[in-house]
Structure 1
Amino acid sequence: MSHSPSGPRNGFAELFSVTARPTEIKVSFWIWFIGGVLALMGGLLGMLASLVLFAAAPAAAAAVVALMLLGAAVGAAQMVLAVKMKAGRQWARVALTVLAGITLVLAAVNTAAGMGQGAGNWTAFLISLAAAVLLWLPNSQAWFAAVSGRNTSSE
C-alpha cells in the first residue's frame, strides 16, 4: 500500500497539518500549541521537582504539587483548544481568547502581589495576546465564517 503525499491524510499527521489556512491561523495555532506543550512539560517537571519539599514542608509541598498539576492541565487543555481552533471551531477561538485574558489577570495579580517573575508573566501575556489577536483579524474572521458555513451546510 502506498501513501501519496497529495492523498487524504488522517491520524497523527493531520493533527499538525496547517495547510489551506490563513497565515494568521497557522501562526496562532503554533503559538498556542507550543505554549501548551511548554506549560504541560513545565507543570509536570515542576511537580516532580517539588516532591522534595515534602520532607521539609509537607503542606506547602502539597500546594505546590497541586498548582503544578493545574498548570500541566491548563497546558494540555491549551493544546486541545489549539487543535480545535485549527479545525475551525468558533468556541475554541473564544476559549483561547479568554485564556489570553486570564493570562493578563494572572500577570497583574502576580505583579501587584510582588510574586513570581513579573517580566515572565507579562511576556507570556503579550505572546498570548498576539496569538489571540491573530484569531480575530479579517483573514481569520473570513476563514472561520467559511469553515462555519461548510459545517452547517453539510449537516
Structure 2
Amino acid sequence: MTNSPDQEPFAYPPPPPINTGSAAAPTTPPTEIIGAFWAYLVAAITWLVGGLLVIGQKQQIADALRDANNQGGALTETQIETAANVGVIIVIVVAVVISALYALFAFKLKAGRNWARIVLTVLAALALISLLLGTGGNIVSYIGQFAAIVAAVLSFMPSSSAYIAQVRDSRQYR
C-alpha cells in the first residue's frame, strides 16, 4: 500500500459532517416564553417583598413568643427578642434564596431549558395548592402565586413547547 506524500501512514479518517439541517438555534423566544419569563420574575420579586414585609411583623412575632413563654416557658426578654430577630432574618434569607432561584430558573426557561420549565411548573403547582388550601398570606403573596400559575400555563403553550424542542434539538448537534 503506497501513501501519497501529503498523507500520513496511520492517519484517522476525517469526522463525519455534522447534520445541522433544521436544527438551527432559535434566535428569539416566542411571546409566550417572554410572558412566562416576566411573570416568573414578578413571582420572584413578590417572594422578596414578602420576606422584607416580615421585618414589620417582628413585634408580633416577639409578642407571640412572650405569650407562649408566659404559659410555662423559661425564656428571658433578651432571649425572646433574639428569637424574634433570628426568625425574621431566617425568613428574609429564605425569601432571598427563593427569589434568586426563581429568577435563575426564569432566565433558563427563556433560554429554552426544559428542566427549568419543569421546576418552575412544580413551584407554580405548589403555589396553586397553597391558594386552594387558603394557607393565608397577603396581597403580595397572592399576586406572586397568581403570576407563577399564569407563567406555568404560558410555558406549556404550543409555541413555547416548539421553542423548547427547537432549542433542545439545536443543542444535540453541537
TM-score, normalising length: structure 2: 0.63
Identity of aligned residues (%): 31
Matched, 1:107 2:131: yes
Matched, 1:64 2:88: yes
- Distance in 2 between the 1:98 and 1:130 partners? 13
- Distance in 2 between the 1:28 and 1:134 partners? 6
Long gaps (5+) in structure 2: 1-26, 63-77
Matched, 1:35 2:35: no
* Residue 166 of structure 2: aligned partner: 146
TM-score, normalising length: structure 1: 0.70
| Larger RCO: 1 or 2 (CA < 8 Å, sep 6+) | 2
1:67-91 residue CA offsets vs partner (Å, 9 max, x unmatched): 2211111001000001111111111
Q: How many residues align?
A: 131
Query: Contact 2:43–2:147 (CA<8 Å) still a contact in 1?
Result: no
1:135 shift after superposition: 0.5
Cα RMSD over matched residues?
2.7
Flag the structure with larger Rg. Answer: 2
Specify the code of the residue in structure 2 equivalent to 1:22.
P
Cα distance change, pair 146–80 in 1 and its aligned pair in 2 (3 A) = same
Long gaps (5+) in structure 1: 1-18
- Distance in 2 between the 1:127 and 1:62 partners? 30
Matched, 1:116 2:137: yes
Specify the code of the residue in structure 1 equivalent to 2:29.
R
Query: Contact 2:46–2:143 (CA<8 Å) still a contact in 1?
Result: no
Structure showing the higher helix proportion among its residues: 1
1:40 shift after superposition: 3.0
- Distance in 2 between the 1:67 and 1:84 partners? 26
Specify the code of the residue in structure 2 equivalent to 1:142.
A
Query: Contact 2:41–2:103 (CA<8 Å) still a contact in 1?
Result: yes
